[in-house]
Structure 1
Amino acid sequence: MRDVIGIILAGGLSQRMGARNKLLLPVNGVPMVRHMVQNYAAVATCVIVVTGHEAGEIEAALAGTNVVFVFNPGFAEGQQTSVVCGLRAAGADGVVLMGLGDQPQLTADDLRALLDAHQVADPARISIPTADGRRGNPIVIPAELRARLLVDGKSPGCKAFTRAHPKYVQFHQMKSAGFYADVDTPEDYIAIAAAQ
């Protein structure tokens, strides 16, 4: 198995879901975040979960797994702060597979397909899934570029860097809907639950 560090961003406020933390809602009989960890663990040598909002509940939902927890004290300032925490925790070696904790339609096979596409293209560039002009998640970040994503103090992380430096980015046509569907609202969750 290639050296892959999975990073799952699980620190958001989940505001559009209402009173419930979406990452704790059941998917295939387990909390959504646990379902995501199971998929990432099938392809990664190490899985880092970046927590923030309701960190204790997220950790409890992942009891018994081998994940590494990283708490983001600035989680209320947005996802970008969790990206930075995750990248700093990942160390210097291996490729990073960074994604969201609320993409339950993604499968381990989808993640393998993205990693394979990255490897056979240019493994020194950031790989982003795409379909019909939409960017998806997760993305694959080579070790050589991780430090560069943290240089801009005003706008660190992936989004600004990949748009400002297209020469370091490659897009892969990935058909699976799981790359482009996340759960933000009760309606999103109802649709996902109906498909289980």
Structure 2
Amino acid sequence: MITGVILAGGLNRRMSGRIKALLPVQGQPLFLRQLKEMSSICKQVIVVTNEPEVLRPHLSTVSNINVQCITDQYVQKGPLSGIQAASLIASEQHMWIVGCDMPFISAEAAKAMAMLCQEANLDAVIPVLDGRVHPLHGIYSRIVGSEAEVLLKQKQFRLMGLLDHIDWKAVENDFFERKNIPIHFATNVNTPEEYEQMLANLS
């Protein structure tokens, strides 16, 4: 099994201050949509947020899954701090890490990447779609948390910088196409315009 991790610690500046995790998508907050998808392969999901009091009330609608809301130890230092915090309590060897602004995350994609990560004994498996690296929606061994902490202590906060220090493999479009997995799972919404466009494409 895999521990699911939703990183929801950002300041939402580009979304005009709206909390991206709570953006409505087909009648439910975005992060609950993610929890539903994660629950098909994850017994534990960790939501890393600096506003747990805002997100926790919505968790009363979730059943049959162990969801924990935690805060960063290194506050407002980006996704790297979320990975570090989640790794400390992850119950499984591998973590499926996504951003809270990704409405189409795919359990099938995560499962395929986790299998590769385990079989090849890698630290991470990361999608590289149309030539672009997507470190979120990646599969990471929980041991990368210690490397993330080293970087945080050195005041190196770039998530891409973590990849320079771990053993990871890229999986490209053809990996998912062979498994009939649509590659829109890495889509994220950073701005009100992207959010409205995403909703229009759903209708």
Look up the match of 2:114: 115
Identity of aligned residues (%): 24
CA 1:73–1:63 in 2, change beyond 3 Å: closer, same or farther? farther
2:79 matches 1:82: no
Residues 149, 157 of structure 1: 8 Å contact kept? no
Deviations 1:123-157 (A, max 9, x none): 33311011222111211112454433333321378
Paired letter, 1:95: H
Look up the match of 1:178: 185
Matches of 1:29 and 1:141 in 2, distance apart?
Answer: 31
Matches of 1:148 and 1:74 in 2, distance apart?
Answer: 14
Instruction: Name whichever of 73-82 and 26-35 sits farther off.
Output: 73-82
Matches of 2:72 and 2:145 in 1, distance apart?
Answer: 18
Residues 105, 137 of structure 2: 8 Å contact kept? no
State which of 43, 50, 58 in structure 2 corresponds to 1:61: 58
Paired letter, 1:193: L
Q: CA deviation at 1:45?
A: 2.2
Residues 24-173 of structure 1 correspond to what in structure 2 (within 5 A)? 24-52=22-50, 54-65=51-62, 66-72=66-72, 74-90=74-90, 93-120=92-119, 122-136=120-134, 137-152=136-151, 153-154=153-154, 155=156, 158-165=159-166, 168-173=167-172
CA 1:192–1:15 in 2, change beyond 3 Å: closer, same or farther? same
Instruction: Name whichever of 124-133 and 71-80 sits farther off.
Output: 71-80
Matches of 1:44 and 1:126 in 2, distance apart?
Answer: 17
Residues 105, 185 of structure 2: 8 Å contact kept? yes
Residues 104, 182 of structure 1: 8 Å contact kept? yes
Residues 117, 172 of structure 1: 8 Å contact kept? no
Matches of 1:151 and 1:113 in 2, distance apart?
Answer: 29
Matches of 1:19 and 1:42 in 2, distance apart?
Answer: 31
Matches of 1:157 and 1:77 in 2, distance apart?
Answer: 9
Q: CA deviation at 1:158?
A: 4.9
Partner SS for 1:124? coil
Residues 5, 48 of structure 2: 8 Å contact kept? yes
TM-score by length of 1: 0.83
Q: CA deviation at 1:55?
A: 2.5
Q: CA deviation at 1:20?
A: 1.7
Name stretches of at least 5 consecutive residues in structure 2 with no aligned partner: 177-182
Residues 5, 97 of structure 2: 8 Å contact kept? yes
Q: CA deviation at 1:86?
A: 1.5
Deviations 1:84-127 (A, max 9, x none): 21122225x5211111111102233332333344345x133311
Count of aligned residue pairs for this structure pair? 188
Matches of 1:73 and 1:145 in 2, distance apart?
Answer: 16
CA 1:108–1:28 in 2, change beyond 3 Å: closer, same or farther? farther
Name stretches of at least 5 consecutive residues in structure 1 with no aligned partner: none
State which of 179, 192, 195 in structure 1 corresponds to 2:198: 192
Matches of 2:84 and 2:158 in 1, distance apart?
Answer: 6
